[in-house]
Amino acid sequence: MNKFYKTVPLKFFWIFILLFAACEKPAEQAKITIAISKEKKAGNSENYHNWLLRYNRNVDYKILYGLPVDSAVKVAATCDGLLLTGGNDVFPGYYGKIDDTARCGTFDRYRDSLEFALIDQAIKNRQPLFGICRGEQIINIAMGGTLYIDIPTDFSTLVVHRQEDWQHCRHSVWIEPGTLMSVITQVSTDTVTSNHHQGIEQLGEGLLVSARSADSLPEAVEWAGTSAKGFLMAVQWHPERMTMNSPLSKQPAVKFLNEAEKYHKVLNPE
């Protein structure tokens, strides 16, 4: 009996400690969800979602390609950010160059319609928006801008913007001082992985060029004024193919994810 009474308080002591520790444990951080317009094949280490997961393991994602456009827009509206990825040329009829279709690559008219609708939704809701390669180009078109149909024939340049060995197509870019890109990366120039035959010709309304290649072609854009428009950033290069610590891969991703976290808190107030 004496032994029993001596051990009971000890048991209660440890129960109290465990309960206290459980109460003090911080709540798990809610996952942020990124809508991705189109993803590469599953298992590819260069997947766009893997690029985001490098910098925040607390990210979920939803692939929108293949859904009816109206359904995709509804799904995207529930997410915390929108990522527009690389791919086919945008149909040139959207920017007044329908007669030049023969000089383009292949088209995906469904994807064009899908991404224009997603961009419209994101801008209206001030949802964080990031574009890569084609993503930058279609954002520019959505804002009333145009593209060079084919850089090698339409724009005199010594910069190699596209080559057959696309995994090793690299060139330098220069960051425009005073831009958000300059603030977050803290670099004035760096080398990027980039492979494309089209690029921004006439800049879309409300956009600001934040980086250029040596031949002056725009390589990144952002809002000219961000006070009431939400977050928008788009790059012509492929950050998902670059090293993890590259400032032009890491810092744009971190900024986009931070903005998505802020947006999540707006959608899900405590």
Task: Report the pLDDT value the prediction gives residue 4, as an integer from 0 to 100.
Answer: 44
Cα–chain center distance at 225: 19
Task: Report the pLDDT value the prediction gives residue 179, as an integer from 0 to 100.
Answer: 97
Task: Report the pLDDT value the prediction gives residue 27, as an integer from 0 to 100.
Answer: 47
Which is catalytic among the residues 238, 259, 261, 264? Answer: 238
Task: Report the pLDDT value the prediction gives residue 157, as an integer from 0 to 100.
Answer: 72
Q: What is the mean pLDDT of each run of 10 residues along the chain (270 residues)?
A: 50 51 52 92 68 94 96 98 95 93 88 98 97 96 95 74 63 94 97 85 97 92 86 95 93 97 89
Asked about 79 being catalytic, the answer comes back as no
Task: Report the pLDDT value the prediction gives residue 113, as an integer from 0 to 100.
Answer: 98
Asked about 238 being catalytic, the answer comes back as yes
Domain ranges of the chain: 32-267
Provide CATH code, domain 32-267: 3.40.50.880
Q: State whether residue 181 is helix, strand or coil.
A: helix
Which is catalytic among the residues 240, 259, 261, 264? Answer: 240
pTM equals 0.86
Task: Name 170's bridge partners.
Answer: 193
Which is catalytic among the residues 133, 176, 259, 261? Answer: 133
Burial of 27 (0-12, 13-18, 19+ CB in 10 A): exposed
Task: Report the pLDDT value the prediction gives residue 26, as an integer from 0 to 100.
Answer: 44
Task: Report the pLDDT value the prediction gives residue 135, as an integer from 0 to 100.
Answer: 97
Task: Report the pLDDT value the prediction gives residue 268, as an integer from 0 to 100.
Answer: 85
Task: Report the pLDDT value the prediction gives residue 164, as an integer from 0 to 100.
Answer: 62
